Amino acid sequence: MKTIRIKALAVLSVTLGLTFVFALVVRAKGDDFNSVVKLIEHFYGVKHQGIPFLAKAGMKVTTTAAKIKGGSARRLAEAGSVKVAFFEDQTFAGDFTRFRSSLNAALSQTWTPLIQTLSATDKEQTYIFVREADAKYNVLVITIEQREATVVQVTLSPQNLLLLMKDPEGTGKNITQEATIIDQE
């Protein structure tokens, strides 16, 4: 009788443990954009301006079209998939190698770091992370300069992810441009 109780207790503990871990993973996966914004705010002591601010400024965040090489308008992100946070006219001073470690640690569970570029002299950092989202891909682009920063999360089709893989730096810039440019059309 005692053995059965112990076994039942063990099964219950394992089930609860797994449920907790699963809940944590799901939470981390769903909320990484906000976690990154919070991480930047905490690390650099800055405050972001989110989508409401951009909307007030007349920017249509989810329906932007960027002019890219060759002058043709092209949309990389899937419609309605864009999340943007802006940090404008603030100081981003701090050990960027330590920031990179914190960022990688925060995202390593659910995202793959595709490309990371750092410039100690220009104090510029760009990080691009990728994760699967059903048949498509979530891409997180974090750009930090001396006086401004941008966090952009978009969903890409496999074809556009291929563009990103072939030219990670160029396409990463286009994604940020596309998500933050004022739509004049």
Query: Which of 64, 125 has the CB closer to other proteins?
Result: 125
- C-alpha neighbours within 13 Å on the C-beta side of residue 185: 9
Query: Which of 51, 118 has the CB closer to other proteins?
Result: 118
Nearest to 36 by CA among 181, 152, 154: 152
Scan residues 73-132 and list those touching other proteins (CB under 8 A): 95-97, 100, 112-122, 130, 132
Scan residues 149-178 and list those touching other proteins (CB under 8 A): 158-159, 161-162, 165-169
- Bridge partners for 70 per DSSP: none
* Sequence-separated contacts (24+) of 124-128 with Cβ below 8 Å: 125/96, 125/99, 125/100, 126/169, 126/172, 127/100, 127/103, 128/164, 128/168, 128/172
Query: Which of 139, 179 has the CB closer to other proteins?
Result: 139
Nearest to 77 by CA among 140, 35, 123, 25: 140
Tell me how many residues contact other proteins (CB under 8 A). Answer: 26
Calculate the CA 105 to chain-centre distance: 14
- Bridge partners for 119 per DSSP: 124
Query: Which of 35, 157 has the CB closer to other proteins?
Result: 157
Q: Please state the closest distance from residue 29 (CB atom) to other proteins, in A.
A: 16
Q: Please state the closest distance from residue 172 (CB atom) to other proteins, in A.
A: 11
Query: Which of 50, 168 has the CB closer to other proteins?
Result: 168
Binding site for other proteins (CB under 8 A): 95-97, 100, 112-122, 130, 132, 158-159, 161-162, 165-169
